[in-house]
């Protein structure tokens, strides 16, 4: 007679169907044939382990709307592994500008022997999203380039995972021009007239430039001002309410809380005009930055505006309430522009006074010659009446007095506490953060995204 324990622990007895419920898994598999799993299908990962035999030349491909995906052809282009369309079809004359993400070269096209400017990405595409983002600049630029006050784009292509944008060549930009010429108030009127035309056209298409500043305004030989750099243009029709940050010196206060309207461009235009006419570099951060956006403008800046109509217009353009600022069209309809400025020739024409660029012979890391570009690096003035400093003495005189009589100088007040560091709409990495994109707030005004619940 078989006991219950024998039934449970005796797999041999499981042939009886009445006791199958007691059979172990090991016993049930005893008679099954085991098969080896199939070998995995090997696949070659070209991205990381590309054999030398699989390398192919990366040809230049157009990314312009009317010829997207078409390989570029030229009698000078051999399409070899070592050659590039950029190197073989253009004579690189000089680097005329360099930023954080791209550099601009003055080139001569070997086919038509004409001069152009080419903006070239400094780094390769970091992925599909980065490529798509950079191609948006091409789309925006192509949609806007029909206006005479917007830089004309010739073509755009990608090669070896870099973006190239070929445009017309201008004589200079407004920052470089202002560093060598005095900006009179009639010139400021003409500046507002030309760039307001570009902004009015841009705003009519529901775009916001977000980075209007003297560096992004180019001058042709006949004195036409052209707006450029559409890398952070914001489409008001998009679902997103966020926009990339622009230059802090010209940034409207409401942008910090995510309020993006065409009035942000009008504010930037007004700030650029104030900087040009006063020859003071606007602050990047601090109390003075907040004071200007609160209509508390230092007297040294505002006192240069002897034209009361111009002064009134500029103060309206930088009004703290974006709803009370004039639109670009309203700036164009101001009586002075409508009745006088629009009938005058451009005072920026280079055929009247040829612009000769000079590079300082003093060496150093801040010199444009140190990196091979002639990007203008304007020596900033101290903000007027800020922290005890005045412009009555030069830098050398300040240094001399500081040696003999330290009591005559009052150093700027240090930043106390733990100031709020704000990066507008951060990207994929904070490694790209620089001083132009960092803001310190010491006023008690709270941002919508300030969750600290305390005042500074």
On the 0-12 / 13-18 / 19+ scale of CB atoms within 10 A, 136 is middle
CA neighbor of 46 nearest in space, from 61, 37, 35, 56: 56
On the 0-12 / 13-18 / 19+ scale of CB atoms within 10 A, 220 is buried
Q: Is 435 considered catalytic here?
A: no
User: Is residue 99 a contact partner of residue 369, using CB atoms and an 8 Å limit?
Assistant: no
CA–CA separation, 149 vs 171, rounded Å?
14
Which tokens is 168 given? 């017309």
Marked catalytic residue, from 130, 132, 211, 435: 211
Which tokens is 363 given? 């060496």
> Within 10 Å of residue 84's Cβ, how many Cβ atoms?
20
How far does the chain reach from its first CA to its final CA, in angstroms?
Answer: 90
Residue 119 known to bind ligand: yes
C-alpha torsion sign, points 271, 275, 276, 281: negative
CA neighbor of 118 nearest in space, from 150, 155, 88: 155
On the 0-12 / 13-18 / 19+ scale of CB atoms within 10 A, 192 is buried
User: Is residue 241 a contact partner of residue 230, using CB atoms and an 8 Å limit?
Assistant: no
Residues at the binding site are 119
Residues at the binding site for ATP are 119
Q: Which residues are catalytic?
A: 211
């Amino acid at each position: 007679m078989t006991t219950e324990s024998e039934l449970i622990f005796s797999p041999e007895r499981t042939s009886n169907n009445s006791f199958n419920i007691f059979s172990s898994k090991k016993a049930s598999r005893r008679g099954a044939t085991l098969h080896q799993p199939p070998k995995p299908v090997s696949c070659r990962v070209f991205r990381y382990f590309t054999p030398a035999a699989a390398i192919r030349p990366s040809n230049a491909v157009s990314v312009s709307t009317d010829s997207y995906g078409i390989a570029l052809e030229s009698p000078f282009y051999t399409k070899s592994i070592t050659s590039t369309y950029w190197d073989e079809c253009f004579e690189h004359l000089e680097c005329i500008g360099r930023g954080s993400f791209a550099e601009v070269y003055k080139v001569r096209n070997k086919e038509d022997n004409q001069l152009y400017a080419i903006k070239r990405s400094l780094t390769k595409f970091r992925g599909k999203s980065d490529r798509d983002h950079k191609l948006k600049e091409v789309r925006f630029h192509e949609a806007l380039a029909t206006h005479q006050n917007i830089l004309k784009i010739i073509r755009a292509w990608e090669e070896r995972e870099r973006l190239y944008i070929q445009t017309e060549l201008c004589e200079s930009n407004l920052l470089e021009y202002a560093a060598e010429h005095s900006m009179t108030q009639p010139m400021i009127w003409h500046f507002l007239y030309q760039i307001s035309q570009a902004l009015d056209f841009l705003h009519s298409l529901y775009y916001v430039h977000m980075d209007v500043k003297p560096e992004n305004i180019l001058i042709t030989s006949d004195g036409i001002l052209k707006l450029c750099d559409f890398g952070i243009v914001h489409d008001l029709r998009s679902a997103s309410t966020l926009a990339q940050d622009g230059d802090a010196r010209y940034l409207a206060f409401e942008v910090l809380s995510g309020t993006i309207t065409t009035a942000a461009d009008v504010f930037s235009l007004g700030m650029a005009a104030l900087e040009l006419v006063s020859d003071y570099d606007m602050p990047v951060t601090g109390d003075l930055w907040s004071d200007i956006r609160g209509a508390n403008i230092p007297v040294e800046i505002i006192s240069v505006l002897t034209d009361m109509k111009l002064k009134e217009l500029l103060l309206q353009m930088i009004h703290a309430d974006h709803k009370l600022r004039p639109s670009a069209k309203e700036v164009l309809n101001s009586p002075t522009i409508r009745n006088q400025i629009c009938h005058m020739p451009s005072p920026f024409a280079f055929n009247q006074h040829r612009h000769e660029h000079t590079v300082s012979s003093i060496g150093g890391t801040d010199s444009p010659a140190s990196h091979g570009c002639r990007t203008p690096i304007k020596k900033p003035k101290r903000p007027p009446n800020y922290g005890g400093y005045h412009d009555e003495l030069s830098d050398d005189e300040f240094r001399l007095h500081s040696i003999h009589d330290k009591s005559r100088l009052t150093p700027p007040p240090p930043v106390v506490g733990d100031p709020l560091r704000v990066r507008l709409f951060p990207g994929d990495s904070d490694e790209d953060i620089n001083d132009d994109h960092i803001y310190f707030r010491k006023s008690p005004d709270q941002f919508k995204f300030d969750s600290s619940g305390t005042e500074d």
